[in-house]
Structure formats: structure tokens, C-alpha cells
Amino acid sequence: MIKRVTVCFISLAVLFISGCQEKEVQVAQTGAVEVETIEWKLVTSWPKNFPGLGMAPERFAKLVDEMSAGRLKIKVFGAGELMPAFEVFDAVSQGTVQMGHSAAYYWKGKTPAAQFFTSIPFGLNAQEMNGWLHYGGGLELWEEVYEPFGILPLAGGNTGVQMGGWFNKEINSMEDLKGLKMRLPGLGGEVLKRVGGVPVTLPGRELYTALQTGAIDATEWVGPFNDLAFGLHKAAKFYYYPGWHEPGTTLEFLMNKEAFAALPADLQSIVTIAARAINQDMLDEYTSKHIIALDSLIDEHGVILKQYPDEVMKKLAEVSKVVIKEQSAKDDTMTKVYKAYMEYEAGVRKYHKISEDAYSRLRE
């Protein structure tokens, strides 16, 4: 099990870098000492250097390199460079590469419980997910879910509450969702299917073409920051909110368990600390960049921002509860994760009603 990190990451990073600099000075004074350089490959489910999602693993690799004084070098490959986007899990599991960066709900066909570690409809937001994973037992459960595959998971970023999706028609009632072919992965897709829609799973780089050509009728991706970069506003004009299907989307770093175990203890700590720092850094970036991108979409590109009708949200929430409970009952591991998740969610909702939610109402 990966050791928990409960200290300030910036301070630790400085200490690591400072310590490495001191060692370099000592080496210069006493003579050259050969230091082993370990090289890892990290594959992602995102286009190379794509804003937000694609840059997180790049920043992670840079931070690890700096903190380890070059002892651990990680080369990042975007989706399609070494393998397709949805083969990341198998590549890490088989040891073809040492690491991956992706989203756990892509692996629902291998282990359905994985979906809880990305986001579920009407579930935890980013702040709540981080609390559950790092202090509420969630990460231990995640490790248990991936144990049969020889993979160790770490939270690898969060986008915050996502947008509800891009449509070429208005959504005024539940009838408008029937027959709708929409890119919607995870449990959100199961909910769409239950209300008569047709969920489709596609990698990000295929979304624009699929939407433009009519292969799909609608798509969700992330939010303004990434959606603008993909040019989705050129293929659809109605932009709906909120992202009921993914209220706090956690990304993941996947590590081959044997490769991680082979690292010296200090490098294991560096990898863990760097991942935790990047997890928070991504959320910080999205929170800021979404503001700028949304203004651009509306003011410069004429995108029509729409809120889902209350009737639609109420019905989707009802169906989501049923679908999640039914899906969880089909798999023992998923049942265990479901119970733990719901127990934590009940507690955090109770507290947030008198804290976060109460304050948000004051700002309206």
C-alpha cells in the first residue's frame, strides 16, 4: 500500500530539491559518484500536450525529475503515440509501460467498481472526492479494486464540476433525450440509456468529427477550457449545464505495481508526493481557465448557454439513484465500494448543507 502523504507538498518539494542540491555540492567536493538513472514511460488517454488533461502528466514528469535530481526520468506519450487511448490500463497492467494517466471509468468492462473513482451522476464534487480518497478510505478501496491487475492508483487531477454537454437542439423535456446518441461514458451513460438515449464512448480527439458529421447528436467532454480547445462550439451551438453526470471528475495515475516496488524508498515518496501536488494543481488550473474560456465561447463565438430544465434534472437524479444501486448489486467489489461511497457522501452532504452550500446561497 502506498504510504499516505499528510504534509505540505510545496514544502516537501523544496526540501527534496534542496537536499539534492546539497548532495550535488558534496559530490563536487569529494569526487564524482555514479548515480543510477531510472527511465519510465507514461502513456495517457489524452492528446499530447492537450490543455489541462494532457499537461498534468507532463508537469508530473517534470516535478519528479526535479525532485529526484534526475534519478527518475519519465517520458510522457499522448494517446495514439504508443497505443490507443483506451489501452492504457492493459499496458500498465502488463508492464509494457510503467505508468499511465487516464480516467478510471473507462475500465468499467474490466472492473465495474472503477467508475466510483472518476465520478458518478449526482455524486461527490472535487473537494469531496479528494477528502474521500485521501482521508475517508477511498484510496485504499481503489488500491483493492486494482490489486488483481497489478496496478497501483493515485489521484491524478480533477476538473471540477463539468458542463452538461453540447447539443444541436434544445433540451426542453425528457422526450428530447429519447433516441439521442450522445458521447457519455461511465454510469452517466447507463442513466442516459435507461431514459431512452443512446450512450457512446469515444476518445476525446474523435469528438469534434463525430459531432460535426452527425455520427453522434450530442457530446460532453469536460468544460469551457477543454471544449474551446477542441473547437466543439463549431459543431454545436447549445451548451448545457450543469454536468450532472460528472460533478467532480477525478483523473488517475496508474502505476505498474512491480515497477513501483522496485524503486528506492525515496523515489517512491517523490512519485507519491508529485502526484498529490499535480492532483491539486489541475483543479486550480481548471477553476481559473474555465472563466476565461467561457467568456470567449459566449462573447466571441456566440455559443448559447442553457440550463437543463428542473424537470429533466429531477428525473435524471431519480433514475441515477436506481441505476447506481442496481449496477452496484451485480458485483461484490462494486457493492463494497458503493456502500463506502454512499456512507461518506451522506456525511459530507450533511456538513456541507451548513457550510459550503449555505455560503453559496448567500452569494446568489
pLDDT in tens, 239-260: 999 999 999 999 999 999 999 9
Cβ 34 vs Cβ 271: under 8 Å: no
Residue 308 pLDDT: 98
Mean pLDDT of the chain: 93
In this prediction, residues 97-115 reach a mean pLDDT of: 97
- Could you give phi then psi for residue 133, rounded to 5 degrees? -65, -45
CATH 3.40.190.10 matches 165-246+301-362: yes
Distance, CA of 175 to CA of 280 (rounded, Å): 39
- The fold adopted by the segment(s) 39-157+249-288 is D-Maltodextrin-Binding Protein; domain 2 (3.40.190)
Q: If you write DSSP's letter for every residue of 69-134 in order, what string do you get?
A: TTSEEEEEE-TTTSS-GGGHHHHHHHTSSSEEEE-GGGGTTT-GGGGGGT--TT---HHHHHHHHH
* Higher per-residue pLDDT: 201 or 152: 152
Q: Measured between alpha carbons, how far is 294 from 272 in angstroms, rounded to an integer? A: 33
- Is 71 known to sit in a ligand binding site? no
Residue 3 in this model has a pLDDT that exceeds 70? no
- Average pLDDT over every residue of 192-208: 95
Note the pLDDT of residue 12: 53
Burial readout 182-215 (b: 16 or more C-beta within 10 A, e: otherwise): bbbbbbbbbbbeebebbbbebbbbebbebbeeee
**Does pLDDT of 119 surpass 70?**
yes
3-state secondary structure of 201: coil
- Predicted pLDDT at 1: 55
39-157+249-288 and 165-246+301-362 agree in CATH topology: yes
Is 162 annotated in a binding site? The answer is yes
**Could you tell me the three cell numbers for 228?**
474551446
* Phi (first) and psi of residue 50, to 5 degrees: -65, 135
User: Is 221 a known ligand-binding residue?
Assistant: yes
pLDDT confidence of 34, banded at 50, 70, 90?
confident
Residue keyed to cell 473537494: 127
Q: Is 94 annotated as a binding residue?
A: no
Domain ranges in the chain are 39-157+249-288, 165-246+301-362
Main-chain dihedrals φ then ψ at residue 334, nearest 5 degrees: -65, -35
The reported pLDDT for the residue numbered 35 is 79
16: pLDDT strictly greater than 50: no
Q: What pLDDT shows up at residue 205?
A: 87
346 band by pLDDT with thresholds 50, 70 and 90 = very high
Distance between CA atoms of residues 22 and 206, nearest Å: 48
Mean pLDDT along residues 100-118: 97
Q: Is 29 annotated as a binding residue?
A: no
Instruction: Find out whether 151 and 343 touch, Cβ atoms under 8 Å.
Output: no
Cis peptide before 112 (omega within 30 of 0): no
Residue type, 340: A
